[in-house]
Amino acid sequence: MQANHRSPISPAPGGLWLPLITPFRDGVLDEASVRRLVRHYAAEAIDGLILAATTGEGLTLDKEEVERLVALTAEELTAAGRRLPVFLGLSGSDTRKLMKALEHSAAWPIDGYLIACPYYTRPSQEGMVRHFSALAEGAARPIMIYNIPYRTGVNLGNTAMLELAAHPNIVGVKDCSADMAQSLDLLRRKPAGFSVLTGEDALFHTMLAGGADGGITASAHVGIGVFVAVHRLLRDGEAARALAAWHAICDLPRLLFAEPSPAPIKHWLWRAGLIGSPEVRLPMVPVSDGLADRIDQEVERLRASGLDGARA
């Protein structure tokens, strides 16, 4: 891949970021669908893309697939004339291996990294501070922390988070702490230049109203214009209109997470004609017939209402 030396994003990340699904077909990366997705969402008013993270089934991708995914995305954004920040999702429980991943991807056309807390090993708060500090020192691009204790088994508390927020190369957090008191306390105490983006789709409006800088929102694959509008209206002080807009789409996260993500989102995008197959990789499985029927009905309902932003 050709080197692409991008400057760090400025200001800190905010607004609506899309954690892009990774389309597969017959067991391999579906490059045509990747290109179609990037072109489609590049035309929307999103503020950034996340590649190869949880929604992107990053743990099932090999190194060559990740590099190809990044290259395809960069090519399509360039063709679309869209300067859209792109962060790469990384995860792991070995600081050394993650350092090697940062070194390996240093020249890729990306703007930063979304790095999850170490999973399974359940390190102490001090261990996580040292872990992320080492990664921030070694990274050629800014880092957002991904705090999602119900997946990793460990919660990065606010004391440790605020210590890490002082590092100039740690620019924010995707907050999935599932503890509203912790999230609101972080919003109250966070320093300038450190962004809190909610990763809880069902709390998108609530967290923005509470002062979050934005969201990394898988459900925004669908009805994306409404998610954009909610953010814009709240930013502009139009609270009542923002709430009304949110009410039109607030049941979507429940539907799209009724079974393990991203299978429901992939089914929707397949039915909408944006990807060639709803295929997921084991241990993920396709949606059940019952959920497929419910999604198909909602696709048609949103099409009829004009709220569906996921149409080819």
Asked if 42 and 59 touch (Cβ cutoff 8 Å), the reply is no
| Angstrom distance (rounded) from CA 259 to CA 22 | 17
Tell me if 265 is assigned to a ligand binding site: no
Which of 41, 97, 119, 174 is the catalytic position?
Answer: 174
308 Cβ partners below 8 Å, 6+ apart?
222, 223, 272, 299, 302
97 is catalytic: no
49 closest CA partner among 34, 27, 28, 63: 34
| Angstrom distance (rounded) from CA 309 to CA 302 | 9
Residue position matching structure tokens 């869209």: 82
| Angstrom distance (rounded) from CA 237 to CA 186 | 22
Asked if 88 and 110 touch (Cβ cutoff 8 Å), the reply is yes
| Cα dihedral 49, 67, 311, 266 in deg (nearest 10) | -100
DSSP three-state, residue 225: helix
Tell me if 55 is assigned to a ligand binding site: yes
244 Cβ partners below 8 Å, 6+ apart?
none
146 is catalytic: yes
Which of 41, 146, 190, 266 is the catalytic position?
Answer: 146
Q: In this structure, what DSSP letter does residue 278 have?
A: -
Asked if 117 and 153 touch (Cβ cutoff 8 Å), the reply is no
| Angstrom distance (rounded) from CA 160 to CA 178 | 17
**Active site amino acids:** 146, 174
**Residues tagged in the binding site annotation:** 55, 216
**Residues tagged in the binding site annotation for pyruvate:** 55, 216
